[in-house]
A and B are shown apart, each in its own frame.
Chain A
Amino acid sequence: EPEVTQTPSHQVTQMGQEVILRCVPISNHLYFYWYRQILGQKVEFLVSFYNNEISEKSEIFDDQFSVERPDGSNFTLKIRSTKLEDSAMYFCASRQIGSYNEQFFGPGTRLTVL
């Protein structure tokens, strides 16, 4: 069964460093999302991506964040200068076109900023 994959599973970085989180969505899906979950809190929407551009973003998704789909299969989230409060689980999700299709989540990347 196709699945969303994410790498790495755990990333530890120093404050101020850049990180890139990688995702491979399901191949016939057209909408891609990033969410984050700070430990013990609810899952929060960051950004959605469709047709090679950002289609919606939350107020969390500030200038420190960027996304791209560099090669038609990978979908990346970059944080330019990490802060302590960026420590969280980051989930990638994808879905088929059509409003009522469920989003399939990847296993997540746990980011720890020291």
Chain B
Amino acid sequence: AQKITQTQPGMFVQEKEAVTLDCTYDTSDQSYGLFWYKQPSSGEMIFLIYQGSYDEQNATEGRYSLNFQKARKSANLVISASQLGDSAMYFCAPNGGATNKLIFGTGTLLAVQP
């Protein structure tokens, strides 16, 4: 079974600074996707960014980018120019299995301070 590790249960960052949220995973799949979701205090799950295992370029989506290191099986999320609205729980979720279900890590709670 896949194991997803997010080693930072909580992080603080100053507004306008960049922050990196760590994620490592353990998979035997040759082809897979890596997703990051944001869960604000209101509870909904918001898709942020995706990286394919065969993509040569690191994914970017606005202020979000992925530092993808396939050999190390890590896919760290970088948020640039943090905003107060970025305060939320962030989940790393590779997909796997026959139906590409998402397998979530334990999450990192990010608090952006003014």
Could you mark each residue 72-114 of chain B with 1 if its beta carbon is under 8 Å from any beta carbon of chain A, else 0?
0000000000000000000101010111111111110000000
Which residues of chain B have C-beta atoms less than 8 A from A75's C-beta? none
Identify the interface centre among A33, A42, A105: most chain B CB within 10 Å of its CB: A42
- How many B residues have CB within 8 A of the partner chain? 25
| Contact assessment for A43 and B104 in the assembled complex, using a CB-CB cutoff below 8 Å | yes
Binds B, one of A20-28, A78-86, A95-103: A95-103
Say yes or no: is B56 at the interface (Cβ < 8 Å to chain A): no
Interface residues of B (CB under 8 A from A): 31, 33, 35, 37, 43-47, 50, 52, 91, 93, 95, 97-107
Interface residues of A (CB under 8 A from B): 31, 33, 35, 41-45, 48, 50, 55-56, 89, 91, 93, 95, 99-100, 102-105, 107-108, 110
Known contacts A50-B99, A56-B98; 15 additional CB pairs below 8 A are: A31-B99, A33-B101, A42-B104, A42-B105, A43-B91, A45-B101, A48-B99, A48-B101, A56-B97, A56-B101, A89-B43, A99-B33, A102-B47, A103-B47, A105-B44
